[in-house]
Amino acid sequence: MNFSFTEEQTMIQEMARRFAENELAPVAEKLDQTGDREMFLNILSQLAELGFMGLTIDPEYGGTGADSIAFSLAITELARGCASTAVSVSVTNMVAEVIQAVGSEEQKTTYLPRICSGEYPAGSFCLTEATAGSDPAGMRSTAVRDGDEWVLNGTKQFISSAEYAGVFVVWAVTDSSLPRGKGISCFLVERGTPGLIISKAEKKMGQHASCTNEVRFENCRVPANALMGELNQGYRIAITELAGGRIGIGSLALGVAQAAMDYARQYITERQQFGKSLADFQGLQWMLADTYTDLEAARLLLLSAADRKSRDLPFSKEASMAKLFASEKANQACYTALQLLGGYGYIQDYPLERHARDVRVTSIYEGTSEIQRIIIARELLNEIR
């Protein structure tokens, strides 16, 4: 494997790093404390202008045309500045990718330019339900054909960016007579469609600037051509796109952890106890060594999965391995960084408590760590059957 990045990948990484340092890091605390929506939407608009809302989308549709490695690098750098921003970018890219992968030409030409340009501040991925989180085949939302329209009914939970998304990719049961998971289809629903109801934002532990909402569909009528992909084949679409999303969330976790550890590393070189720098204590040195080694391993797992995806090779197992390892080690890293600051790490004047709150959900959303282990084990056993 060639571990050097292409000129384009390096350029995207450096652009994301500069944006995170100059635009995100200085306002991350304010966004966390106030959830300033106007400021947040302005940031998303700037990122769209720079090409970050359609990183892997064909330039024909207004995208950047980069690969999954560049996407992973960009999300990691953005997360170093602000996890809320990084998750909004990651999910919006996932929405754009699914439209590019299975949408009709009309759907691609209608929605992709609006996402990539920032006309739509974000896109939302409506899969999870109260009874269908780790088990999406258990969803209860329905879509019934009525002449030239589909009528959607149901409720989706934990939908990122729902308050300001321009388009929603929605999964619903279209044939309940088929076995579980076989009668699900995928639809595109535009913001403002009658019957599409966005509930108030959830009060979360972290990632406060990124809104997360319940989304209800009450006799929500969409045209027949809102169906995306083949009828009753939506479950397969969801599973494929979730694998790609796991690269994004693993990359986000890595970025938050790197920001936390870099801050703590600098801190222990400046803080003194017992007449010498904290950095001179071997116990703390070992904490640094172990944690940075874990984060480097996470980085390599993520890049390996992204490389396989870019080359159209099977990558589900690798994406789950990368997401599992990166999110678990990132959680550990943020707590290690907080511990290195001692009591100061627990105070909001320092960024460590925010990083610890922001990173916690990365081992939950886009598939919990427990689900990743099931996927990995299943793939390993399938290889020898």
Give the catalytic positions in this structure: 366
DSSP string, 83-142: HHHHHHHHHHHHHHHHHHHH--HHHHHHHHHHHHHTSSSEEEEE--BTTBSS-GGG---E
Q: Is 182 helix (H, G, I), strand (E, B) or coil?
A: coil
Closest to 377 measured CA to CA, from 326, 316, 335: 316
Query: What single DSSP character describes residue 24?
Result: I
Amino acid at 167: V
CA–CA distance, 251 with 15 (Å, rounded to integer): 16
In 236-304, beta strands by DSSP E: 272-273, 276-277
Tokens 């170093």 found at? 80
- What values do phi and psi take at 31, rounded to 5? -60, -40
Characterize 234-270 residue by residue with b for buried, 16 or more Cβ atoms within 10 angstroms of its Cβ, and e for exposed: bbbbbebbbbbbbbbbbbbbbbbbbbbbebbbebbee
Q: Rounded distance, CA 385 to CA 377, Å?
A: 13
Instruction: Based on DSSP, count helices (H) and strands (E) in the chain, helices before strands.
Output: 11, 10
User: Is the four-CA dihedral 15, 21, 27, 28 of positive or negative sign?
Assistant: positive
Kindly state the greatest CA–CA separation across the chain.
80
